[in-house]
Amino acid sequence: MNIKPLLEAGPAIQLHVAAAAFAVMLSVAIIVIRRGTPAHKRIGRAWVAMLALICISSFWITGMNGSGYSWIHLLSAWTLLGLCKAVWAVRTGHIRIHKYAMISTMIGALLGAGFFAFMPGRMMSAILFG
């Protein structure tokens, strides 16, 4: 493990990685605890905030496609829309919609994007595998 690339990265990348790491931990917690409890709601709010931070910070991170945006930024926009849908659903009592919006957001945003973040040649791959 070599954390040097992260320490040398810009603040947007450092913020993005920190929020992602925290979101992964919150994801585990939200899966384990009982749904609908005050703890679920608190952790869920923090999780949404971390995902929003991840998505928003991604718009200051370029490089896959020269200095412009790449296809992964579409995932960030899609995730923000999914978060809005999930929050709307729970606030209006549509628990089933909320549940599936959150599950799909968790799978797409964390597992999908996480998979691509650790591909060879990417910074997270260099950090983890040297």
- pLDDT tens-digit profile of 4-34? 989 999 999 999 999 999 999 999 999 999 9
Residues pairing with 68 in the sheet: 65
Tell me which residues of the chain have a pLDDT lower than 70. Answer: 64-66
What is the count of structural domains for the chain?
1
Q: What's the pLDDT at 65?
A: 61
Query: Is the full-model pTM beyond 0.85?
Result: yes
Give SS3 for 68: strand
Q: What's the pLDDT at 116?
A: 83
84: containing domain = 4-129
Q: What's the pLDDT at 64?
A: 65
Q: What's the pLDDT at 66?
A: 66
d(CA 47, CA 27): 7
Q: What's the pLDDT at 87?
A: 97
